[in-house]
């Protein structure tokens, strides 16, 4: 990443990256389950807890300050998502809990005979909530299949199953298991043509490339801040017409105006302060890039787009390097897109099997070398079931923009030495 802000300077903002295991720097390839955070995030959390801690809606100073922090975080997430409509930004415990709550509300409009589309590529948090809601309403669930060789969605199967009976589709922006990027804008356009609402899971996509809910025209989108360098807080955005129409399941006498209509209970205000800080971190990267490119970047949204666009380019280079090294190891089988020329169709998340060792054994041996990876199915159970990889699953190495080619080299060397 050639900018006035070097990769070393970026890494210096993440205190965890200085950790050592047996005298060698730890390699954090566990990002798909949760990224590391810049120092500004815990500082913002601590600052809130020390100086502003209160519940919302009071007449006194700390309560008004909390109101202001929540509002500022909503505006920041709206900029991350690419929309001026910040009042529709909802915070909650995590994406899974928010999706279950949204599924209960959305499903009130389903009837027996209606059809719901989910995919075999998604994290189960964007499958089971809709399957269970459909069961309760008597609707029919149809699963969009994949090409098992590339772990990409079978778009012909999608089009065969899409019909005027289809009322809803749950779709991931990118696979948290194998990194595949889905053609969300194209699929949303075709779904809307038959009157189908679309709920996007952007949890795994958010740290890798720009999000644009206006261009994509999705009806809902969900993300989790702990995947894009923030704390454990989930967020959902929805079109105003849906959020005002659908019934919100909540206690009395909660407010009926957005977003309080959907934010149930007392929120994690210190976490929300951290969400604001992590979005500002991304915007700051864009502001630094502006100095290098002389781009006319004046708004936070423009700064975020500039930063995420550069991150996307850098991560494609990392992906190509990783795929070349993995393909050179005869004991490794990569699942998903493995052609380095197709890195624009994936994010830098790689799952594989070793021909001799179990996924857990590989993860343990890499951990002993200070390399952090995951094993199992990572809740992408529809995919691992489709590939016949249960119960052991795969090994997953996920890269983020603070990772380096040197780390990839060390990882590949460790795999050869297993």
Q: What is the mean pLDDT of residues 122-132?
A: 98
Q: What integer pLDDT is reported at residue 318 of this predicted model?
A: 98
Taken in order 299, 300, 301, 305, the sign of the CA dihedral is positive
Of 394, 375, 374, give the one whose Cα is nearest residue 384: 394
Q: What is the pLDDT of residues 18-41, one digit of tens each?
A: 999 999 999 999 999 999 999 999
What confidence tens digit (pLDDT) does each residue in 342-368 have? 999 999 999 999 999 999 999 999 999
The Cβ of residue 241 has, within 10 Å, a number of other Cβ atoms equal to 9
> Domain-by-domain residue ranges, the chain?
7-37+313-416, 43-277
Handedness of CA 281, 283, 288, 289 (dihedral sign): positive
Burial state string for 223-235 with b = 16 or more CB within 10 A and e = fewer than 16: bbbbbbbbbebbb
Band the pLDDT of 293: cuts 50, 70, 90. low
- Show the tokens assigned to 364: 């343990």
Mean pLDDT score, 153-170: 98
What torsion do the CA atoms of 51, 56, 59, 60 make, to the nearest 10 degrees?
Answer: -10
- Whether the bond between 391 and the residue before it is cis, its omega within 30 degrees of 0, is yes
Q: What angle do CA 224, 340, 405 make, to 5 degrees?
A: 70
Q: What angle do CA 170, 283, 242 make, to 5 degrees?
A: 30
Provide the pLDDT confidence category of residue 58 given band limits of 50, 70 and 90: very high
Helix (H) or strand (E) holding 289: helix 269-293
* pLDDT for the residue numbered 1: 39
pLDDT grade for 296, boundaries at 50, 70 and 90: low
Do the first three CATH levels of 7-37+313-416 and 43-277 match, i.e. the same topology? Answer: no
The residue to which tokens 């595949």 are assigned:
180
Report the chain's mean pLDDT, rounded to a whole number.
96
Q: What is the pLDDT of residue 294?
A: 64
Q: Taking residues 239-267, what's their average pLDDT? A: 92
Contacts of 355 (CB under 8 A, 6+ apart): 331, 332, 333
Q: How far is CA 126 from the centre of its chain?
A: 12
Domain at 7-37+313-416: CATH architecture: Alpha-Beta Complex (3.90)
Give me the phi and psi of 377, to 5 degrees please: -115, -5
* Residue found under tokens 């589709």: 169
Nearest to 408, CA basis, from 311, 328, 353: 328
Q: What percent of the chain has pLDDT over 70?
A: 98
**CB-side neighbour CA atoms (13 Å) of 341:** 0
Is residue 180 over pLDDT 60?
A: yes
For residue 185, how many C-alpha atoms fall within 13 Å in the half-sphere facing its CB?
6
| pLDDT (0 to 100) of residue 4 | 53
The dihedrals phi and psi of 239, each to the nearest 5 degrees, come to: -65, 145
Residues 396-411 have a mean pLDDT of 98
Using CA atoms, how far residue 255 sits from 17, 148, 252, 264, in Å, is: 43, 47, 8, 10
Total residue length of the chain: 418
Query: What's the pLDDT band for 289 if we cut at 50, 70, 90?
Result: confident
CATH top-level class of 43-277 = alpha beta
pLDDT at 297: 63
pLDDT score, position 254? 79
Task: Look at residue 3 and tell me whether its pLDDT is greater than 60.
Answer: no
Band (pLDDT 50/70/90 cuts) for residue 298 is confident
Q: What would the pLDDT profile of 59-72 be if each residue is shown by its tens digit?
A: 999 999 999 999 99
Give the pLDDT confidence of 304-317 residue by residue, as tens digits.
999 999 999 999 99
Taking a C-beta distance cutoff of 8 angstroms, is the pair 243, 261 a contact? yes
d(CA 248, CA 339): 45
């Amino acid at each position: 990443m050639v900018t006035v802000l070097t990769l070393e300077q970026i890494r210096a903002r993440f205190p965890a990256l200085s950790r050592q295991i047996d005298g060698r720097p730890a390699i954090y390839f566990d990002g798909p389950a949760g990224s590391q955070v810049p120092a500004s995030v815990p500082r913002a959390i601590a600052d809130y807890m020390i100086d502003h801690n209160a519940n919302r809606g009071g007449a006194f100073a700390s309560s008004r300050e909390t109101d202001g922090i929540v509002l500022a975080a909503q505006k920041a997430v709206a900029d991350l998502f690419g929309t001026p409509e910040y009042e529709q930004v909802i915070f909650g415990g995590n994406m899974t809990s928010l999706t279950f709550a949204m599924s209960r509300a959305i499903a009130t409009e389903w009837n027996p005979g209606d059809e719901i589309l989910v995919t075999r590529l998604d994290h189960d948090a964007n499958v089971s909530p809709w399957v269970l809601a459909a069961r309760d309403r008597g609707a029919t669930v149809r699963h969009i299949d994949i090409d098992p060789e590339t772990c990409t969605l079978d778009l012909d199967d999608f089009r065969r199953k899409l019909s005027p009976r289809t009322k809803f589709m749950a779709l991931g922006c990118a696979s948290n298991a194998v990194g595949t990027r889905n053609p969300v804008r194209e699929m949303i356009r075709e779904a809307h043509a038959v009157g189908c609402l679309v709920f996007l899971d952007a949890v795994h996509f958010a740290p890798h490339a720009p999000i644009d809910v206006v261009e994509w025209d999705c009806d809902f989108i969900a993300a989790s801040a702990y995947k894009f360098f923030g704390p454990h807080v989930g967020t959902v955005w929805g079109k105003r017409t849906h959020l005002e129409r659908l019934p919100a399941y909540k206690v009395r006498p909660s407010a009926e105006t957005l977003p309080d209509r959907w934010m149930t209970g007392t929120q994690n205000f210190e976490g929300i302060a951290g969400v604001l800080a992590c979005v500002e971190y991304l915007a700051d990267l864009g502001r630094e890039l502006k100095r290098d490119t002389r781009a006319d970047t004046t708004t936070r949204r423009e700064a975020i787009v500039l930063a995420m666009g550069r991150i996307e380019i850098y991560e494609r280079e990392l992906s190509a390097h990783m795929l070349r090294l993995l393909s050179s190891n005869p004991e490794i089988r990569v699942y998903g897109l493995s052609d380095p020329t197709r890195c624009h169709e994936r994010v830098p998340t790689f799952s594989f099997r070793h021909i001799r060792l179990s996924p857990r054994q590989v993860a343990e041996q890499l951990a002993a070398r200070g390399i952090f990876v995951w094993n199992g199915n990572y809740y992408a159970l529809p995919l691992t079931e489709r590939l016949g990889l249960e119960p052991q699953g795969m090994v997953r190495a996920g890269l983020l923009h603070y990772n380096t080619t040197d780390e990839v080299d060390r990882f590949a060397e460790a795999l050869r030495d297993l």
